[in-house]
Amino acid sequence: MPVDSTYSTYSPGMLRIGGLASGLDVDSIIQDLMRIEQMKVDRLKQERQLVEWRKEAYREITNLLRAFQDEFFNMLKTDTYMLSSNTYKTFNVTSSAEAYVTATANASAMEGSYAITKIQRLATPTIIKGTTWAFPDGKTLDSTLEQLGLVAADGRAEFSINGVTFLIGTPSEGEELSGDTVVIDPTKTSMRQLMNIINTNSKAGVNLFYSSIEKRFILQTKATGAATISLYQNMTDVTGTFLRDIGLLADGAEKEKIDGTDAVVTFQKVGGTGTIDWVSATNTFTIDGVTYTLKNTTPDGMAPITITVTQDVDRAYNAIKNFVDKYNELIDKINGKLNEERFRDYPPLTDAQKKEMSEKEIELWEQKAKSGLLRGDSILQNIVYNMRRALVDAVEGVGINLSSIGITTGSYFERGKLHIDENKLKEALRNNPEQVMQLFIKKSSIDYSPNLDSDSRIQRYNESGLMYRISDVLMDNIRTTRDKYGRKGILLEKAGIVGDITEFQNMMDAELRRLDKRIDAAVEAMIRQENRYWAQFTALEKAIQRMNMQSMWLMQQMGMNQY
């Protein structure tokens, strides 16, 4: 394996021929002289390569932490979200008649059975069915409002539904429109598009559609319950007669108004000492942590429906075990980087060295060269230390710790790996779910912020459950938001991450830019040195040429060149 640098001229395109007078191999001599200069450039390039590799290694750790954070601290991933009470206190809920009602339970529920003696009524929306309305010849829902003849002579119509104004036409010059006004161009908007505009307006809260079977427009509230009958008063033509023209405000006998209704469910009182009616504006409602979803009314004489709530210890155990397994993987990978062997006899290869090696040899060499770049790194050491400490320190106001529920750290050489006693953890979840939940997700009175002062950080740490502490460690290191000094997470400030502004604005890229300038300066110095050597050898060639010419002249004068 070659260890010396091979010099290649940095002055391409220049034809230089040396040694014509002296007979010296000037090109080889200068290449030998320039090797020391080439070595200076190579050392800078090797230093730059190490910084680049170190940046990649930091980003690898950042990606590991981001993946861990996304799996366990993303509230959208309900199955693995470790800051939810539903992760630690879980229940199975069964219904004896799922065709009529189903149920689920959250962490505030209690084990037990609940009886529904009758589902008297379901919650329904308010519905307005317009009078019969036929499309003009050749026109459909895809025809524009103008083509359907639904625009007044002045080209304008305005109607309101639940406080939202829909203006069909062009606003008058200087006319001030409320923030809830929707302007619609009748020459470009079809009836189908208008219905979509109305239906997607969340504040209007209605669905408008045309029934080809009944041949009329139907308006229905998205919400259910008796309160939705206010639609009757909250729907009007402001200017023009658009709603009246499509039959929704007509006074004909064909028009129907169907009042929205509340759901009415009869529960048997605990202990079976009578019944009580529960009224709800929706068919899904929550009572004491149990969420009921009504499907149908029950017929007279039907036996009571039993809702049974039982604790689901296995689900909580599996969620905690999954977290512990992934935590151990994360800690193992970071500890692996911290303790990876450094092979200092394997520096980054120079271009000349790569030319003499096969691709496989280069790959094996660079594996050694990249090894141990983060060995003993202080940032990674702090991450591991803070995560291990977060899981060991007592949580203020909680009388248990991980060890007391069957989660312990292994031997010293395992460097923080956690082990679970399945029976002990399940027993804790079964007999003391509230305390287990508090241990993991007790919330501090102080919210997380990178700008907290020292006392506030200590208070938040002491008050926070284990998962909040782990979340804080992750935020401190991979946070993409800035603190009051303009700094993001520690790892992002150090090496950045793809897709964020820190991808190019970080400490290691700044170091790379400094090295690029040093390399450019070294190359320029190398070119100057090369030119200097060529100038010196050219002067030597000229001197020898003059000497040879003088020697030949003397020989001619002395007749020494005659035979």
Contact residues for 246 (Cβ-Cβ < 8 A; gap 6+): 130, 133, 150, 217
The band of 535, judged by pLDDT with boundaries at 50, 70 and 90, is confident
pLDDT at 8 over 60: no
Give the helix/strand (H/E) hosting 17.
none
Q: 347: closest CA among 2, 11, 108?
A: 2
Say whether pLDDT at 170 is over 90.
no
- What's this model's pTM, rounded to 2 decimal places? 0.76
Cα–Cα distance, 532 to 247 (Å, whole number): 97
What per-residue confidence (pLDDT) applies to 250? 80
For residue 354, the one-letter residue type is: K
Residue 42 is predicted with a pLDDT of 87
CA distance 244 to 217: 11
| pLDDT at residue 7 is higher than 70 | no
54/464 Cα distance (integer angstroms): 34
Sequence-distant (≥ 6) Cβ neighbours of residue 335 within 8 angstroms: 384, 415, 416
Q: Which residues of 242-254 are buried (b: 16+ CB within 10 A; e: fewer)?
A: bbbbbbbbbeeee
The whole-number pLDDT of residue 283 equals 97
Among residues 287, 310, 288, 289, which one has the least CA distance to residue 107? 289
Calculate the dihedral angle through the C-alpha atoms of 28, 31, 36, 41, rounding to the nearest 10 degrees.
-160
Q: What is the DSSP string of 17-29?
A: ---TTT---HHHH
pLDDT of residue 5: 53
Rounded Cα distance, 540 and 5, in Å: 27
Half-sphere exposure of 428 (CA within 13 A, CB side): 24
Q: Which of 196, 121, 48, 185 is nearest to 520 (CA)?
A: 48
Q: Which amino acid is located at 59 in the chain? A: R
Token reading at 343: 């092979």
- Asked if residues 508 and 520 have their Cβ atoms less than 8 Å apart, the reply is no
In whole angstroms, what separates CA 504 from the centre of its chain?
Answer: 20
The b/e string for 158-174 (b: 16+ C-beta within 10 A; e otherwise) is bbbbbebbbbbbeeeee
Q: Which of 114-128, 243-257, 528-542 has the highest mean pLDDT?
A: 114-128
Cβ partners under 8 Å of residue 16, min gap 6: 26, 27, 534
Whether 544 and 22 have beta carbons less than 8 Å apart is answered as yes
Phi, psi of 314 (to 5 degrees): -60, -40
Among 178, 239, 176, 240, residue whose Cα is nearest residue 203? 178
427: left (phi over 0), alpha (psi -120 to 50) or beta: alpha
Distance CA 64, CA 336 (A): 13
In this predicted structure, the answer to whether residue 253 has a pLDDT above a threshold of 80 is no
Task: Return the pLDDT at 265.
Answer: 97
Quote the tokens at residue 328: 């151990």
Q: According to the model, what pLDDT value does residue 14 have?
A: 53
Q: Is 63's pLDDT higher than 80? A: yes
Give pLDDT, residue 4. 47
Q: What is the identity of the amino acid at 18?
A: G
**Distances in Å between the alpha carbon of 411 and those of 23, 147, 417, 419?**
74, 81, 8, 10
Tokens of 93: 């809920």
List pLDDT tens digits, range 425-484. 999 999 999 999 999 999 999 999 999 999 999 999 999 999 999 999 999 999 999 999
> Quick check: 26 pLDDT over 80?
no
**Beta partners for residue 159, in sequence order:** 166, 237
Q: What is the mean pLDDT of residues 5-25?
A: 54
Inter-residue contact 290 to 275 (CB < 8 Å) = no
Whether the CB-CB separation of 275 and 117 falls below 8 Å is answered with: yes
Task: Tell me the per-residue pLDDT of 259-272, one tens digit each, with 9 for 90 and over.
Answer: 999 999 999 988 77
pLDDT in tens, 300-356: 999 999 999 999 999 999 999 999 999 999 999 999 999 999 999 999 999 889 999
Strand 112-121, strand 206-211: pairing: unpaired
According to the model, what pLDDT value does residue 478 have?
97
Name the residue among 333, 126, 349 with its Cα closest to residue 248: 126
Can you give the C-alpha Rg of the chain in angstroms? 41
Residue 128: alpha-carbon gap to chain centroid:
44
Match 């090109």 to its residue by tokens: 27
pLDDT tens digits, one per residue of 386-437: 999 999 999 999 999 999 999 999 877 888 899 999 999 999 999 999 999 9
pLDDT confidence tier of residue 123, bands split at 50, 70 and 90: very high
Q: Residue 417 corresponds to which tokens in the numbers above?
A: 């790996």
**Adjacent-strand bridge partners of 305:** 116
pLDDT tens sequence across 139-158: 999 999 999 988 776 678 89
> What tokens appear for 461 in the block?
């740490």
**Cβ atoms 108, 256 nearer than 8 A:** no
pLDDT digits (tens, 9 = 90+) for 192-214: 999 999 999 999 999 999 999 99
Phi first, then psi: what are they for 381, rounded to 5°?
Answer: -60, -40
- Quick one: tokens of 308? 């049974």
